[in-house]
């Protein structure tokens, strides 16, 4: 007999079916054993009476055992209907059970609505904890974000590309690279697909990439991870950084609207609401610093705002503009990479920006320099040696349009949509300074 | 004025438009200058007469310069219509040109239909050569393969996951791992997402991943690369390896049919035909060895067939079954990893298989062991220490259904669809033993 998914049993009242899944919970009522069976589509109550085949054997079944159950779908008596369950009007009268896999004692009860585990326990037992419905919901939202991102990018004429993660040099001239032994020489793990997506603009005008990003930053925070999945994009023939922000704004609106539409259950589990502002406010970084001083009595050391500043300026955007998002623009030249276009009206500033969402930086982007000579000059000003960037500079010898783009952190989107305390919760198997397993 | 894409100019006869792009070719006819302008959507003939603004300046424009052109779309005289061009019935009467980017002397003429470059030249100048139409077509097919793969996987209930590429140990117990310096310790780059996707089955039953795969194999062939993009999938509640092969077969049929439908122009450029067999033949490896002996007089050393054997058995599949694909099944236990299910009827064999396409191995897959004790035993038989696989073994303590899956090489699919000689041609910026740049 073909397997029936649990969500499809609703239409099969009176019919014999075969279902497969895990024992979610198991209850004894005298000689009757109730098993809530869980598969990828839902949960179904299965009733084992002493008449079932090998009844004696079936009594040993416990939580999380994997079963294949043959039986007949029956309507439940009216007073036993469970309105909280999709299959709450029916149950399965068990005829025969095949045990596919048994389980030792479990240390964690994953059938709980909320396991309330310490983050380290949650991650140490990741192979088990991702089976919990609330934890699993995170990864359904995550998959929806990936899907919405690619679909939107394609609809806007962006070509999906894949670029290498092993590099011959520390591309952007910064630190924070992981070093690899590559046959008989050293190599580095990509900190971003920046150079390659710019090359992509030269060929295809608009490109996007979903790929691994590696950062050797020794941070111990709830916002940092050392390996994540970046949602990158780069577009040619722009008139200025606002064109890039427009595109990113539309992208985020689409991604959120898709999550809102297709992840109702998952949002509900987290009591999360998706708010999509009509327009994301755009504020110069310098003006943000002023607002922090005036409205929040917060003094900024240096020229960039710190995590508390990011949180406060998001509060301000929510209050003043009813927006969960805010663009901070015109980042200072000193703290942006050599490829970001300086503002011709004020060379201390650049056409670089950040996008903040619910208190944290979600994306970094900007217009890039597209002129070969200007780029060489900017490298020199940054005390970088253009000879170290031979292949990158090649791109600009062949004719490059004005262009710009962004890098988005996919995990932070999910973290902030669902209100997770730690970004690591939004990653199946996160890597941080201390954690490389499971 | 808003930019008009070149493909959209066809509907704008008589109207003023602004177009942007690269000079594809430039021809002088006395005082008239013809420019074929190329953008991501097509090529448009632009006519510069001495009446154009700054005509004197415009005479210096050369190949690959980046331009923004304002002008009026006109019908061409009947005898000048170019049926080979989508915009062949129209041209642009240039009013004004803004030069966005100039270009030095180019070493390679990328406007040629076929640049006929040596592979090393093609890759050394990759930032330029990907701008050639024929080369670019490869990456349009590549993007279509990615799109078709994810769309099909989703339609079959697979959840998209992303798993880490930095590992604490050399997972599969083999060699060929790249070593990383990870803060104060050593780590390794993932050779496959095998362990994580199996964990994913425990939570979501069906998962897939598109991600970077790293192989430290010192090969110098047209089939090998050291970093590629894997299309992985893993599915629970199977009845045997045939269920996995069925799913992979349907996936490949869908991917090919989408390429056939959506990449007509790209296939034409390569004179490539997509053949979709009704059914992929399945042959035991041992029987393949016999066929090679009898029909091709080829003796096999050892128990696996070599690249020439793969090529010949594909010839056989084409002749006998009219199929570009063939599954080789029942791989010997000796040459399959510890997680592949041994055949209970013949423990020298496994439920592992390969999928071959047009002469090369495209995918490797099989049913996995899902029982904890059997897995520990199999590790020991393979002279592996189960203590080294503590986290992996965790998965099997929590109840795992019978499951299996595959790893597909995305680049080889594209290589073989288009008939490219070298798999590196199907990668934007390939990495091999010698090449880490650009």
Contact in structure between B427 and B411 (CB atoms under 8 Å): yes
Which SS3 state, helix, strand or coil, does residue A105 take?
A: coil
Which SS3 state, helix, strand or coil, does residue A230 take?
A: strand
Structure tokens at B95: 């009013």
Domain that holds residue B217: 126-426
Q: Is residue B431 part of a domain?
A: no
Write out the catalytic residue numbers of B: 215, 217, 223-224, 361, 364, 412
Short-list A429, A180, A185, CA closest to B214? A180
**Helices A241-262 and A133-155 meet at what angle, rounded to 10?**
140
Active site residue A227: no
Q: What are phi and psi of A264, to 5 degrees?
A: -55, -45
- SS3 per-residue string spanning A236-253: ECCCCHHHHHHHHHHHHH
Q: Is the pLDDT of residue B170 over 70?
A: no
**Helices B133-155 and A133-155 meet at what angle, rounded to 10?**
150
| Chain A residues with beta carbon closer than 8 angstroms to that of B130 | 199-200, 202-203
Contact in structure between B128 and B105 (CB atoms under 8 Å): no
Q: Is residue A117 part of a domain?
A: no
Q: In sequence order, what DSSP letters do the residues of A246-282 get, joined into one string?
A: HHHHHHHHHHHHHHHHH-HHHHHHTT------SS--E
Our count of domains for chain A comes to 2
**Helices A194-204 and B133-155 meet at what angle, rounded to 10?**
110
- Edge-to-edge strands of the sheet including B325-329? B159-160, B206-214, B227-236, B403-409, B360-367, B352-357, B325-329, B282-284
Q: Give the angle subtended at the CA of B42 by the CAs of B36 and B46, to the nearest 5°.
A: 25
Q: Is residue B33 part of a domain?
A: yes
Q: Is residue A44 part of a domain?
A: yes
Give residue A308's pLDDT: 94
The residue among A7, A107, A429 with the most chain B CBs within 10 A of its CB, best to mutate, is: A429
Give residue B302's pLDDT: 77
Whether B68 and B164 share a structural domain: no
Q: Is residue B118 part of a domain?
A: no
Whether A134 and A70 share a structural domain: no
Contacts of A158 (CB under 8 A, 6+ apart): A206, A207, A208, A233, A235
For residue range A117-172, list pLDDT tens digits in order: 999 999 999 999 999 999 999 999 999 999 999 999 999 999 999 999 999 876 66
Q: Name which of A101, A397, A429 is nearest B164 (Cβ-Cβ).
A: A429
Determine the Cα–Cα distance for residues A82 and A88; give it in Å rounded to an integer.
4
Q: Is the pTM of this model over 0.95?
A: yes
The band of A111, judged by pLDDT with boundaries at 50, 70 and 90, is very high
What's chain A's average pLDDT? 95
Determine the Cα–Cα distance for residues A247 and A234; give it in Å rounded to an integer.
10
Whether B159 and B244 share a structural domain: yes
Short-list B364, B331, B428, B381, CA closest to B192? B364
Contact in structure between A192 and A198 (CB atoms under 8 Å): no
- Residue A251, domain CATH: 3.30.930.10
Q: Is residue A367 part of a domain?
A: yes
Whether A93 and A144 share a structural domain: no
Give residue B223's pLDDT: 87
Whether A76 and A142 share a structural domain: no
Query: Residue A32: exposed, middle, or buried by beta-carbon count in 10 A (0-12, 13-18, 19+)?
Result: exposed
Residues 107-136 (A) with a CB less than 8 A from some CB of B: 125-128, 130-131, 136
CA A289 to chain centre: 29
Contact in structure between B291 and B270 (CB atoms under 8 Å): no
Q: Is the pLDDT of residue B235 over 80?
A: yes
Short-list A212, A230, A224, CA closest to A145? A230
CA B83 to chain centre: 32
Determine the Cα–Cα distance for residues B409 and B422; give it in Å rounded to an integer.
14
In the 8-state DSSP scheme, what is residue B60? T
The CB density around residue A86, as the number of other CB atoms within 10 Å, is 17
Give bridge partners of residue B179 from the DSSP assignment.
Answer: A181, B188
Give residue B299's pLDDT: 87
For residue range A274-330, list pLDDT tens digits in order: 999 999 999 999 999 999 999 999 988 878 899 999 999 999 999 999 999 999 999
Q: What are phi and psi of A337, to 5 degrees?
A: -65, 165
Whether A59 and A195 share a structural domain: no
Whether A149 and A232 share a structural domain: yes
Whether B25 and B163 share a structural domain: no
Whether A91 and A158 share a structural domain: no
Residues 38-57 (A) with a CB less than 8 A from some CB of B: 39-41
The CB density around residue A219, as the number of other CB atoms within 10 Å, is 13
Whether A305 and A396 share a structural domain: yes
Contact in structure between B103 and B62 (CB atoms under 8 Å): yes
Q: Which of A50, A68, A101 is the last residue of a domain?
A: A101
For residue range B313-370, list pLDDT tens digits in order: 999 999 999 999 999 999 999 999 999 999 999 999 999 999 999 999 999 999 999 9
- Residue A41, domain CATH: 2.40.50.140
Determine the Cα–Cα distance for residues A266 and A260; give it in Å rounded to an integer.
10
Which SS3 state, helix, strand or coil, does residue B90 take?
A: strand
Short-list A430, A437, A358, CA closest to A135? A430
Using the structure block, give the residue that is written with the tokens 């994810």: B150
Q: Is residue B200 part of a domain?
A: yes
Contact in structure between A137 and A115 (CB atoms under 8 Å): no
Q: Which of A111, A192, A323, A364 is catalytic?
A: A364
What's chain B's average pLDDT? 95
| Chain B residues with beta carbon closer than 8 angstroms to that of A104 | 397
Q: How far does the CA of residue B313 sit from the closest CA of chain A (Å)?
A: 32
Determine the Cα–Cα distance for residues A304 and A43; give it in Å rounded to an integer.
50
Determine the Cα–Cα distance for residues A159 and A208; give it in Å rounded to an integer.
6
Whether A196 and A250 share a structural domain: yes
Whether A66 and A207 share a structural domain: no
Q: Is residue B247 part of a domain?
A: yes
The band of A173, judged by pLDDT with boundaries at 50, 70 and 90, is low
């Amino acid at each position: 007999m073909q397997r029936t998914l649990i969500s499809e049993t609703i239409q099969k009242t009176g019919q014999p079916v075969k279902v497969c899944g895990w024992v979610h919970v198991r209850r004894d009522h005298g000689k009757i054993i109730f098993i809530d069976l869980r598969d990828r589509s839902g949960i179904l109550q299965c009733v084992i009476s002493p008449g079932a085949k090998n009844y004696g054997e079936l009594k040993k079944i416990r939580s999380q055992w994997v079963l294949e159950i043959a039986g007949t779908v029956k309507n439940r008596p009216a007073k036993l209907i469970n309105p909280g369950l999709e299959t709450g009007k029916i149950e399965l009268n068990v005829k025969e059970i095949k045990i596919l896999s048994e389980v030792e004692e479990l240390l964690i009860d994953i059938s709980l609505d909320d396991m309330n585990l310490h983050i380290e326990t949650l991650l140490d037992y990741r192979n088990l904890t991702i089976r919990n419905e609330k934890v699993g919901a995170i990864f359904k939202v995550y998959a929806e974000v990936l899907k919405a991102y690619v679909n939107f990018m394609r609809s806007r004429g962006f070509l999906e590309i894949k670029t290498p993660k092993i590099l011959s040099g520390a591309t952007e001239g910064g630190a924070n690279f992981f070093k690899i032994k590559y046959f008989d020489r050293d190599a580095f793990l990509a900190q971003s697909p920046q150079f390659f997506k710019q090359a992509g603009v030269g060929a295809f005008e608009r490109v996007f990439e979903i790929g691994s990003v590696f950062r050797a930053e020794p941070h111990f925070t709830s916002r940092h991870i050392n390996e994540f999945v970046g949602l990158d994009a780069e577009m040619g023939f722009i008139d200025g950084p606002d064109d890039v922000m427009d595109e990113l704004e539309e992208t985020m609106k689409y991604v959120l609207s898709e999550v809102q539409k297709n992840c109702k259950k998952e949002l509900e589990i987290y009591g999360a609401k998706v708010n999509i502002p009509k327009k994301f406010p755009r504020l110069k970084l310098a003006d943000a610093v002023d607002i922090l001083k005036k409205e929040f009595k917060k003094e900024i050391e240096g020229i960039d705002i710190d995590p508390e500043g990011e949180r406060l300026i998001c509060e301000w955007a929510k209050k003043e503009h009813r927006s969960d998002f805010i663009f901070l623009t015109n980042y200072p030249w000193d703290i942006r990479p050599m490829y970001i276009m300086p503002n011709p009206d004020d060379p201390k500033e650049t056409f670089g920006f950040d996008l903040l969402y619910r208190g944290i930086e979600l994306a970094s982007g900007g217009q890039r320099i597209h002129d070969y000579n200007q780029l060489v000059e900017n490298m020199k000003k940054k005390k970088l040696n253009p000879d170290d960037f031979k292949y990158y500079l090649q791109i600009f010898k062949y004719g490059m349009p004005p262009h710009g783009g962004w890098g988005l952190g996919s995990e932070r989107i999910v973290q902030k949509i669902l209100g997770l305390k730690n970004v690591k919760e939004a990653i199946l198997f996160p890597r941080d300074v201390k954690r490389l397993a499971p």
